[in-house]
Structure 1
Amino acid sequence: MERQLPKNVRQIGNVSDEPKIYVEDYVDTYINQLREKAKDEPVGFALAGQIFQVEETPVVYIEGAFRLQEVRVEAKEIGVREETVRQMEEDRKTYFPESDIVGWGLVEDAKPMGRIREAGRVHNRYFSKDHSVFIWKDSLDGEEMFYAFKYGELMQMGGHYIFYEKNPAMQNYMITTRKKIGVSPSEVVEDRAAKDFRSTVRERMEKRNDRLSSRMVYLTSTLLVVVVLVIGALAMNSYDKMAAVQSSLESLSRSVGGTGVGGEDIEETEDGAVVTAAARGQEADGSGGGDGSVDSGGDAAAAGADSGPEIPQGDDAGETGLTEDDYYVVQKGDTLDTISRKVYGNSSQAEAICKMNGLSDGNLIYIGQKLLLP
């Protein structure tokens, strides 16, 4: 099965050259840490990983780096002892048993132009595998250069990739190195790849939640606006009806409160019926009955709301002294002023008509309504 290249990568420089060089983020971090140690003297390191091909393109996959025990640098000469090379192989087996040596590097306070030929000599002797890598890094400003071994010499590369994935081997090596130099065991290197992945997921979830919250706020606001508009429309359409009902209820309330039709006092019996004082007197004398009573409270309310005061008929008219001439039936276009002018010749009785019928607003009358005339 052909090996797949990392997908979570960051490009450094121009990567059009071959081989394609991929450096794991822990390795890059470790090489940068060596800059502090290289301020006093140059520091060498070995590179562990694999060299393979993807669709006929050579790829150098660097997943480990560890310090070389002794690298001597004097003037333009670089010295690597055989013992150092043997120790390098032992360290590879200990820390990176699944990887091969794919190159080496040097961190120092100098420029590589005067070193590259000597570095090439060392590389050709100990790291001469095709496409193996040499990394030079300046300990002061962090400048770095990558070289690949091609056609028997080191050739400078235009760029490389930094990739992110789990790398427990490099992580363990960095922890072990820190322990050896007296760093507290609690200073554990966090799995950066996992951390980056979690951060990316968290950012995406936060953005998604923000979008959902914005949509919910928008929908809720829109719904509230619609509800307010509907309620407003219903209230406008029902205003006249509500006012008419309120007027009828106020008229009935005043009647039940003690003033009957024509100004007579009324009372309510134990069974809820409303009678005039005259009718109560007839009952006391034994001469009354149903003839002197008025509609019950519920019927009166209905009558007040539907057609105004009831015009007495037959015997009832005789007892109350009221006839149809004492009432006016509202016609289309009538107002209390026009009714007063029709009946009395002027509008002076408009307020009296309003009070006589218990109207809170003289404009709220309707066609067919029966108004008691003062």
Structure 2
Amino acid sequence: MVESVYSNDNAEANRACRAQTSFKMPKNIRQVGKSNVTKKIYVEDYVMTFARYLAGDDYSSCRIAVLVGQYVKLESGNCLFISGAVEVKNIDAANEIVFTNDHWTQIYEDIKKYFPEYEIVGWFIGGPGYLLEDKEKILKTHLDNFAGQDKTLLTYDNIEKEEAFYLYENGSLCRQEGYYIYYEKNEEMQNYMIDHKQKPSEEAQYDDRVSREIRAVIQNKKGSADEVKSINRLVYAAGTLLAVIILVVGAAILNNYDQMKNMQNTLNALSQNLKEVESVFRTKENQQENTDQNSKKTNEAATDKEGSLNVEVVPGGIKPLEENNEKKEDEKSNDNVADSSANSQKAQKSEQAKNTETADANSEVVISGGVKYYTVKAGDSLAGISYKLYNSANYISVIKELNNIEDENLIYIGQKLIVP
């Protein structure tokens, strides 16, 4: 029976639009050979497993199946996605291949049951290579049952273990240089293979290491989905608990806000008091330090007998010390023979000699007109001056009296003091 299952009219556009609305590009894809640029063929891994299994090791005949899938138009070109395969049973592939009404009835029932969302996109024939060399028989079968440029033919040589895809171009079936294998759960194909007592796993009679590894990854992802959901639930529960704890703590903080504010004010007051106490202690320490420095300077001035003093002599009548007067009276009383005028001249000469000796001995004192002057310098005190000039503190009261000083600590640098 010859039946056209493909048309280039509006049905093609309708199928393309319907396929595109539910199409989602697979994530795991492997390229085999060199792909056609304008027409790309994608076949699901379970379909290839089923085709190779179907061909088996029978080198006397061929096995046939119908391929189902969808057409998708992408920016890179037209793509054919083969997602399933239905075996055509009880067909004589050794002679002329004929699809009867019973064959098509069974094919459409299987497609409706296992692949309701897909359409027929080509067919498969597998067996020994010498049976696949009859190109005319295969071309006639293709044109009689799968007419159209988009329908594909998949062949598998079970002797050479080699598969190939063909497209109808320029009146002949042209072999494609390559194709793509994609990996999905494909539960439809798995159910079909299980129902027909064929295992959808690597137990098929071929060894494809890459396919096994990719399938293992997909199964692991499927198995870990429940773990991910459990982890998500646990994270959600932990987040909810944390939110409740935060709300409780926040409420407690709001209720105790006034107490916390009062505590903060108290801490600020204590901090201010500590600063004031610290300031008072620092002031006392500075005063004590200044006092110690002044005492140190006074002691240094009292013990220091070296240095330079500027002494200026100004005219004035200052009476000599009682010690000198007593000496003069003794000299006058003892000198009865000398003339009074001669005694007076001698006394003046003696006094000038003494003054000269004092000026020479103490370079800090200047004699002017018979009066001794001492110029105050930094670090001096009346006690220190008395010790410097006379090596005694007995002259403090005399210096105060000569200079009308009431407080012995009130002298200044550069002040000229009359000294005895």
TM-score per shorter chain, which class? 0.3 to 0.5
